[in-house]
Amino acid sequence: MDTPADLVRRLRESQACAALTGAGISQESGLRTFRDAQSGLWAQYRPEALASPEAFQRDPKTVWDWYAWRRQAVAGARPNAGHLALAAMSRLLPVFKLITQNVDGLHQMAGSPEVVELHGNIQRVRCADCGSIAPSWEEVTGEVPRCAICGGLLRPDVVWFGESLPREPLEAAVAAARACDLFFSIGTSGIVQPAASLAYAARNRGAVLVEVNAEPTPLTTKVDFALHGKAGEILPALVEAAWGSPISTGPAGQVEAGR
Ligand code: APR
């Protein structure tokens, strides 16, 4: 895979790098994206019927079951070489801030420290009333489990359409975008706000922009480097070109860093 020499140089010289990831980076781990024409979740399900507070109000059981189904898919997934390459970058760069829209926790499983989760995490569950995180819960046939503290319905600790993002991760993401000299947009269609505006915040502060995505997005015409293809192929090639440490998969398909 051809990696632009100028990008390799900038990566090696970066003093503060930030990356935003979306569902595309987990596609090679077997998790479906949202907007891919055929395979995307929103091609099959209506987001307003499953991923909004109104939908939960109307039919909490259907929403709960749909997230339970997705949680199971996530539990069976493993990080791929793209996740590993970003974990390696956090060890190889003086400053590397990883921001994700994904709720699957695969970055953390790959060894990335301090991942900024903008949209929450599907493995966490909280009370829809008092907001307490439920350390554990019991599935009740035909019902949505309830909060042990206030008796309210439990819901996934993710951000639904129409809901605000949690303040701390959002502030950390904006600060990282404004402070970086190199910003990667990886595996995201770049249309969901406020995440989609982070690249522009970085560019407005003079950062070099890189897009790694299977197809062009609204951001493509604004970036300095547009690398179109699979993140699980492009990112390891970039890390290897910059630092000579290959990202490889072991005999059982598990992913390993060269260092
Ligand atoms: N490597 C790189 N890019 C990929 C790959 C891959 N292997 N497979 C798919 N892609 C690209 C697609 O071309 C698409 O542009 O990843 C992008 C995924 O876009 P979306 O499905 O829109 O996902 P995302 O941008 O993360 O969605 C943002 O929307 O539905 C909400 O809350 C949800 O966090 C999500 C947010």
* Position 38 pLDDT exceeds 80: no
For residue 153, what are the CA distances in angstroms to 61, 145, 218, 220, 247? Answer: 10, 6, 38, 42, 43
Nearest CA to ligand 1 atom 26: 22
Task: Check if 28 has its Cβ closer than 6 Å to any atom of ligand 1.
Answer: yes
pTM: 0.94
DSSP notation for 25-69: HHHTTT---SS-TTTSHHHHS-HHHHSSHHHHHH-HHHHHHHHHH
Residue nearest to atom 25 of ligand 1 (CA): 188
Among all chains, which residue has been given the structure tokens 């009740």? Answer: 140
User: For a pocket test of ligand 1, which of 28, 31, 34, 48 has the largest count of ligand atoms closer than 8 A to its C-beta?
Assistant: 34
What is the distance in A from the centroid of ligand 1 to the CA of 191?
Answer: 10
Cite the DSSP H helix spans in 93-208. 106-109, 167-179, 198-204
Q: What residues contact 178, with CB distance under 8 A and at least 6 apart?
A: 201, 202, 205
Burial class (CB in 10 A: 0-12, 13-18, 19+), 244: exposed
- CA-based R_g, the chain, Å: 19
Q: Cα(32) to centroid of ligand 1, in Å?
A: 9
Catalytic (active-site) positions: 119
For residue 24 and ligand 1, the question of a CB distance below 6 A is answered with yes
Q: What is the mean pLDDT of residues 10-25?
A: 98
> Do the beta carbons of residue 27 and residue 33 sit within 8 Å?
yes
Average pLDDT for 64-90: 96
| Any atom of ligand 1 within 6 Å of the Cβ of 169 | no
Phi and psi at residue 249, to the nearest 5° = -105, 140
Q: How far is CA 184 from CA 41, 75, 167, in A?
A: 24, 27, 22
> For position 259, what pLDDT does the model report?
42
Torsion angle of C-alpha atoms 205, 208, 211, 216, degrees rounded to 10: 80
The CB of 80 under 6 Å from ligand 1? The reply is: no
Q: How far apart are CA 215 and CA 189, in angstroms?
A: 9
Half-sphere exposure of 185 (CA within 13 A, CB side): 35
Question: Does the beta carbon of 217 sit less than 6 angstroms from any atom of ligand 1?
Answer: yes
Strands 182-186 and 17-21: parallel
**pLDDT (tens digit per residue) in 153-197:** 999 999 999 999 999 999 999 999 999 999 999 999 999 999 999
Assess whether pLDDT exceeds 90 at residue 89.
yes
